[in-house]
């Protein structure tokens, strides 16, 4: 089914740190993922994983149960979707380090995003997280250990003292932690290869990367979600990584969640262009340079941010992106195939509205979000800020205190109900 795609593996990213789907919805949508050309899932559990014991505090109140995790994996197997779990182990640790009991492991005391790499307890913590996740994912060929956007690394007190020593650098500090985590994974789970996001590695000189030992331990995932990514620059970066000793490389594009922190509707054209650029990147390197591609679908920019596009809202974009990667482009026949998969009479690529109702799982959610985003929100804003009765007698001050002049209700209510 791979068509002319240069990507042997095509993984759909499920970001569960916001609006995580019910298992019943995944049962509906996994067959569609498979039909569209996906053959794997990158599941970023964050606080939706059912951590036990001393890690139980990491669980969200509505976290999946162990039996639900097993059901998700069973559904994935039924639909020929290989699961790669993702556990953050360095940056984006807010869901862990926000807890008072673990706050002492922060790199910078005031910021809960980055783990202190100097503390032995830090490695023990992420090791315990990894072991619990792997226990429910026996036989996983890959484990993604994150390590992206490690903000404020080197700014903690322990790091400042360490960096004062000759030859110590932030790059060396980063590589030492990545190496420690990867070594732990391989020692405890020798059949599982660690994956890492590549952004913290990009600017590290070739000789330092080579000497670190990291290239023999992990497979980097080059990510870029822009519509005009630098194809030549990515080709050079891949060449650098291969020279450093990385045996396998991965790409990561986006099908949603990458164009605005509070984006409600998915700009399909942007994400289509992103896939087309990645196809060009793959064409610039030797065959099989890229092991596969992950189509990321971010649900929040981080643990504390608002939601961006819901998964059902992003399904048409995912369909366009997967089929484009599978077929090597987005010609009219590919568009027709996508419309058939989604049950959409005419799919709009450049705007947010498509002609006719769709019939894919979750299409009713897309219809509602479109109605709110394109129509209801503007009319409500108009009324709240322009109507003299609302601004004068039902302002935010009045609404907070829940009082209004009864006479004014007869002026406000008819407009509110239109």
Residue 297: what are its φ and ψ, rounded to 5°? -135, 80
Strands 111-115 and 142-144: unpaired
pLDDT (tens, 9 = 90+) of the chain, 418 residues, equals 445 789 999 999 999 999 999 999 999 999 999 999 999 999 999 999 999 999 999 999 999 999 999 999 999 999 999 999 999 999 999 999 999 999 999 999 999 999 999 999 999 999 999 999 999 999 999 999 999 999 999 999 999 999 999 999 999 999 999 999 999 999 999 999 999 999 999 999 999 999 999 999 999 999 999 999 999 999 999 999 999 999 999 999 999 999 999 999 999 999 999 999 999 999 988 888 899 999 999 999 999 999 999 999 999 999 999 999 999 999 999 999 999 999 999 998 988 776 668 899 999 999 999 988 877 666 777 767 888 887 888 888 988 999 888 888 888 888 777 6
Q: Which of 220, 322, 233, 238 is nearest to 285 (CA)?
A: 238
User: Is 149 noted as a catalytic residue in this protein?
Assistant: yes
CA–CA distance, 295 with 114 (Å, rounded to integer) = 25
Q: Residue 375's pLDDT is what? A: 72
Q: Which residues of 80-113 are buried (b: 16+ CB within 10 A; e: fewer)?
A: ebbbbbbbbbbbbbbbbbbeeebeebbbbeeebb
Secondary structure class of 241 (helix, strand, coil) = helix
pTM assigned to the model: 0.93
Q: What's the start-to-end Cα distance of the chain, in Å?
A: 50
Residue 281: what are its φ and ψ, rounded to 5°? -60, -45
CA–CA distance, 179 with 270 (Å, rounded to integer) = 35
Q: Which of 68, 71, 80, 149 is catalytic?
A: 149
Secondary structure class of 86 (helix, strand, coil) = strand
Structure tokens at 73: 């994996």
Q: Residue 1's pLDDT is what? A: 40
Could you list the beta-strand ranges (E) of 8-50. 9-15, 40-44
Q: Residue 357's pLDDT is what? A: 80
Q: Which of 224, 228, 226 is nearest to 290 (CA)?
A: 224
Find the length of the chain: 418
Structure tokens at 320: 């366009």
- Strand-pairing partners, residue 41, are 12, 83
């Amino acid at each position: 089914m791979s068509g002319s795609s240069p990507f042997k593996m095509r993984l759909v990213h499920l970001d569960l740190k916001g609006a995580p789907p019910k298992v019943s919805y995944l049962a509906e949508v996994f067959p569609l993922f498979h039909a569209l050309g996906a053959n794997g899932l990158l599941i970023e559990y964050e606080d939706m994983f059912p951590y036990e014991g001393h890690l139980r505090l990491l669980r969200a109140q509505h976290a999946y149960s162990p039996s639900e995790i097993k059901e998700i994996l069973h559904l994935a197997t039924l639909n020929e979707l290989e699961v790669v779990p993702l556990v953050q182990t360095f940056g984006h640790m807010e869901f862990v380090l926000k807890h008072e009991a673990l706050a002492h492991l922060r790199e910078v005391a005031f910021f809960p995003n980055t783990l202190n790499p100097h503390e032995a307890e830090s490695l023990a913590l992420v090791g315990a997280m990894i072991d619990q996740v792997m226990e429910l994912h026996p036989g996983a060929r890959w484990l993604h250990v994150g390590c992206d956007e490690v903000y404020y690394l080197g700014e903690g007190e322990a790091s400042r003292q360490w960096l004062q020593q000759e030859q110590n650098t932030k790059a060396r500090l980063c590589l030492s932690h990545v190496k420690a985590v990867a070594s732990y994974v391989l020692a405890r789970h020798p059949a599982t290869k660690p994956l890492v996001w590549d952004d913290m590695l990009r600017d590290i000189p070739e000789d330092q990367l080579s000497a670190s030992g990291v290239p023999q331990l992990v497979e980097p995932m080059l990510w870029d979600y822009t519509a005009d990514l630098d194809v030549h620059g990515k080709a050079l970066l891949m060449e650098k990584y291969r020279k450093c000793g990385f045996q396998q490389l991965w790409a990561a594009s986006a099908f949603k969640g990458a164009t605005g922190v509070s984006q409600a509707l998915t700009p399909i054209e942007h994400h289509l262009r992103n896939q087309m650029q990645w196809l060009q990147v793959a064409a610039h390197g030797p065959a099989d340079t890229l092991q596969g591609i992950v189509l990321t679908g971010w649900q929040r920019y981080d643990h504390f941010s608002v939601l961006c596009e819901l998964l059902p809202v992003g399904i048409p974009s995912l369909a366009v992106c997967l089929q484009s990667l599978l077929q090597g482009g987005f010609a009219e026949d590919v568009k027709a195939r996508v419309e058939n998969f989604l049950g959409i009479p005419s799919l709009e690529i450049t705007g947010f509205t498509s002609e006719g109702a769709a019939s894919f799982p979750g299409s009713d959610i897309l219809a509602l979000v479109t109605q709110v985003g394109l129509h209801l929100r503007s009319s409500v804003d108009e009324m709240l800020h322009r109507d003299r009765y609302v601004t004068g007698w039902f302002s935010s001050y009045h609404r907070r205190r829940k009082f209004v002049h009864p006479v004014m209700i007869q002026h406000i209510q008819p407009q509110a109900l239109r």
